[in-house]
Structure 1
Amino acid sequence: MLFMRAQFIEPMLASLVEQPPDGAEWIHEIKHDGYRTLLALEDGKVQAFTRRGADWTAKYGAVVREVAGLPVRSAILDGEMTVLNADGRSDYRAFKKAIKSSPGRLVFIAFDMLMIDGKDVRGETTIERRERLQIVLDDPPTAIQFSEAVQGGGKAFYQAADAMGLEGIVSKRAKASYIGGRTRAWLKIKSYAISELEVAGVLEGRGKPTMALMVDRQNNYRGGAFITNRGIKERLLARVRAKRLPLPKGMKAKPEAKWLEPGVMATVRHLRGEEDLRHASVEEIIREQS
């Protein structure tokens, strides 16, 4: 057996799908909202890597110090660095602030193990690797948590996560090996939320779906939302005027945009757990100033 060093390894990435898989061949975990992180431990020294290999050890100092005390000579752990609120839910905005001002709040949610004591275990199944990880984290320090999972019942698990207002779930083939890069052996299913936002403008492009430019009540640009309903599109275009002053905050120049009169509010369906709109669509116009 070749001895494996603790080092950065390209992480395995989940593919985004709309519906969770069912069946006993899948396990399911809560999807936490933070930064994907690999922790490499060897002889008491720890390095923290981002999903692209940047060394963030200095930023995650509090967690790194606790990982150094785990009962192994060497290991590579895969997980999500985040901050948990009082309800135990990951809080992305608090996480971003904690990196700069309160790193002691950071928590590493460990969900996989790639190497232990020099042995490369990526060829083992998801279940086997997680069993190894759970043994190592049998009595974990406060800054490290093991990501619990259920086997089978993906649809029911997703519905429960959605009802709790969580970001979504990650489903993994129970017998899959760990292979770096995007894969269909890991699937992420995100939850959707409905927000009330103002339609600042409309973007039309030849051969492209029409997009509504959405802002919040403070005129901060939140992103674009597809307009799939012809009636909604016609109502919005009827509100077009020459300019919008002031322009939305945080939005790059869009000279092709058609700006609307103020006060057009709409409900938007979008992925939960994102600061900006993603996979968003306009559901309904709920208010128009006459």
Structure 2
Amino acid sequence: MTKPPRKPSKPLLGEADALLRSRPRRRRDPDQPNLPLDPMPARIEPCLALLRAKPPKGDDWVYEIKWDGYRLSVHIEPTGIRILTRGGHDWTHRFPAIKLAAMWLPVGSAILDGEAVVLDEQGRSDFGLMQQSLGGRGGKKSSSDAIFMAFDLLYFDGHDLRKSELDMRRHLLGDLVPAGEQGDIRLSEQIEADGDELLASACELDLEGIIAKQRRAPYRSGRLGEWLKIKCVQSDGFAIIGYEKSTASFGGIGRLLLAARKGEQLVYVGGVGTGFNERSAAELRSQMDKLIIGNPAVDTGRKRNAIFVRPELVAEIQYGGWTHDRKLRHPSYKGLREMQDNARIYEIA
């Protein structure tokens, strides 16, 4: 065991054997301002990505993989952890593993922006698996399978970072959530590559697409163009307005009848009869049976064996494009969107 240093037998002396003393501390000038800390926002509206057909060009853009899950913000506060959905709903209790991981991050206060996802066996995010882990739309289960892919840092130890450039925010985020770690909070890594080549690689791996971000842009809430999304396949939300019955299909659902928004109205855009499994069809049928109405909310044309419902459910549909008469081409059902996730119905221009 190391011994404590002995006290000097004599005081330290300077020139002319004068005692060495520190300078007396000045009193603080009351006119000198304190350096204030930024108040921690209770909630920040997320920055949203604009859809584009092709990746942008230029060195000002960096790329990430597009994750297919639930957009969340993780608030690390002196009083505890809060996990908020895109719509501002508190879902802390539904992501206990992410909450626990946030408690171990080496920071006193922070707001992380990212996406909760469930990965399949190939490591790809799967929206259907994400929903199943939460017990389906309207379910009350907590997800033990979801992980949080962090892609931005908005607040850090008393400092609001939204006016800082993306490169600075990402630098601090990388110190907080190091690349390559495999915990329940992981870094969504940036990729500096040619956008067209990266998109092609993402599509070959059956990923949803890529996100392009301006490296020098501040963080601005809304869909303003600093972030762009480029998809391998089109996927959007459509209102369910009914279904056609079938005794040979899961849940007795032959086809879902779908609508998009045009101005203040809903318009019929066709139906979808693929993408269901026994579990998702049973969940759908249970939800729709609570919403049955006598007449369709929009004109669907003549339909046999159709049951109509109030347009309160939003289905995420993957599709290959549009027909000449504005119906969905090759649609496939992916799952139901949550209202807490700001379920958005596709708008026809």
TM-score (structure 2 length as normaliser)? 0.60
- Kept in 2: contact 1:24–1:152 (CA 8 A): no
Q: Is the counterpart of residue 216 in structure 1 residue 259 in structure 2?
A: no
User: Relative contact order (alpha carbons < 8 A, sep ≥ 6): 1 or 2 greater?
Assistant: 1
Q: How does 1:90-101 map to 2 (within 5 A)?
A: 90-100=125-135, 101=141
Structure 2 CA distance for partners of 1:164 and 1:218, relative to 1, 3 Å = closer
Alignment RMSD: 3.5
Q: Deviations over 1:73-124 (max 9, x none)?
A: 1110000011111111001111011123461101100000001111111111
Alignment equivalent of 2:183, drawn from 117, 142, 150: 142
Structure 2 CA distance for partners of 1:254 and 1:29, relative to 1, 3 Å = same
Q: Is the counterpart of residue 104 in structure 1 residue 161 in structure 2?
A: no
Structure of greater Rg: 2
**Matched residue, 2:27:** none
Q: Deviations over 1:13-56 (max 9, x none)?
A: 11111111022110010100111100000237110011121111
Matches of 2:168 and 2:323 in 1, distance apart?
44
- The share of aligned pairs that are identical, in percent, is 32
In the TM superposition, residue 282 of structure 1 has moved relative to its aligned partner by 3.6
Matches of 2:153 and 2:317 in 1, distance apart?
32
Matches of 2:218 and 2:298 in 1, distance apart?
48
In the TM superposition, residue 202 of structure 1 has moved relative to its aligned partner by 11
Q: Deviations over 1:257-285 (max 9, x none)?
A: 334799xxxxxxxxxxx832568314999
In the TM superposition, residue 214 of structure 1 has moved relative to its aligned partner by 2.5
- Kept in 2: contact 1:4–1:118 (CA 8 A): yes
Q: How does 1:42-81 map to 2 (within 5 A)?
A: 42-43=77-78, 45-81=80-116
**Matched residue, 2:316:** 275
The one-letter code of the counterpart of 1:127 is: D
Tell me the matched-pair count: 240
- Kept in 1: contact 2:96–2:142 (CA 8 A): no
The one-letter code of the counterpart of 1:2 is: L
TM-score (structure 1 length as normaliser)? 0.71
Q: How does 1:196-207 map to 2 (within 5 A)?
A: none
Matches of 1:179 and 1:61 in 2, distance apart?
29
**Matched residue, 1:174:** 215
- Kept in 2: contact 1:200–1:260 (CA 8 A): no
Structure 2 CA distance for partners of 1:201 and 1:155, relative to 1, 3 Å = same
**Matched residue, 1:23:** 58
Q: Deviations over 1:219-257 (max 9, x none)?
A: 99xxxxxxxxxxxxxxxxxxxxxxxxxxx9999826633
The one-letter code of the counterpart of 2:143 is: P
Q: Which has the higher strand share?
A: 1
Structure 1, gaps ≥5 residues long: 221-247, 263-273
The one-letter code of the counterpart of 1:19 is: K
Matches of 1:190 and 1:152 in 2, distance apart?
17
Q: Is the counterpart of residue 258 in structure 1 residue 296 in structure 2?
A: no
Structure 2, gaps ≥5 residues long: 1-35, 136-140, 236-253, 260-264, 278-287, 306-314, 331-349
